[in-house]
Amino acid sequence: MKTIEVDDELYQYIASQTRHIGESASDILRRMLKISAASQPATPVTKDVVSQPSVVAQAKPAVTPAKDKVRAMRELLLSDEYAEQKKAVNRFMLVLSTLYSLDNKAFAEATESLHGRTRVYFAGDEQTLLQNGNQTKPKHVPGTPYWVITNTNTGRKCSMIEHIMQSMQFPAELIEKVCGTI
């Protein structure tokens, strides 16, 4: 299996074409392109083919943002990338990246109010986290301008995710499901 990079708009369009939970991106693309898994070897992609999905994506009416957020989080939980993560901290980072990509303003608001008695949990740079606690093990949240402390226990990581998701108005059952996988 190969990995390809697609822009966010194209990814959202492909994800919106999901017909059932657990359907892989390959299955969605095969259906959209009307090719079977046993079809002939792939031919080189031309610029014309690449530009077509973008045009279709712009013409397609968007699904309600709330449904998109829920769908995106469920897709993350079902993704191979998420399932392959052996450490809670890596799953934590993937969830944070996804939440930021869904609504960076709501994510920013949620993280501003999120801190411990003596610790700052999120900051725009590593130095701020190092100054506000010993042994915080700050890590950059991929795809965001944020850094987060990572030497908290899994329960604390879950409570951070829970706070952010509640602030972003995710359904309680999804929040519970996400926290249960970290």
Do 98 and 177 share a structural domain?
yes
Please give the single-letter amino acid code of residue 93.
M
Per-residue pLDDT reduced to its tens digit, 1-16: 677 777 777 777 777 7
pLDDT band per the 50, 70, 90 thresholds, residue 40: low
Q: Rounded mean pLDDT of 69-77?
A: 92
Residue 91, pLDDT > 90, answer: yes
Number of domains in the chain: 2
Per-residue pLDDT reduced to its tens digit, 121-147: 999 988 988 888 778 899 999 999 999
Do 34 and 105 share a structural domain?
no
What is the predicted pLDDT for the residue at 122? Answer: 92
Do 149 and 79 share a structural domain?
yes
Residue 117 belongs to a domain:
yes
Do 97 and 54 share a structural domain?
no
Do 73 and 45 share a structural domain?
no
Contacts of 122 (CB under 8 A, 6+ apart): 111, 112, 114, 115, 146, 147, 148
Mean pLDDT, rounded, of the chain: 81
**How many residues comprise the chain?**
182
Please state, in angstroms and rounded to a whole number, the distance separating the CA atoms of residues 30 and 38: 11
Please state, in angstroms and rounded to a whole number, the distance separating the CA atoms of residues 124 and 74: 28
Do 172 and 139 share a structural domain?
yes
Do 147 and 82 share a structural domain?
yes
Taking residue 170's Cβ as centre, other Cβ atoms within 10 Å add up to 21
CATH number of the domain where residue 158 is located = 1.20.1380.10
Do 71 and 54 share a structural domain?
no
Do 48 and 72 share a structural domain?
no
Residue 170 belongs to a domain:
yes
Do 96 and 168 share a structural domain?
yes
Do 132 and 147 share a structural domain?
yes
What is the domain range of residue 117? 65-181
Do 124 and 165 share a structural domain?
yes
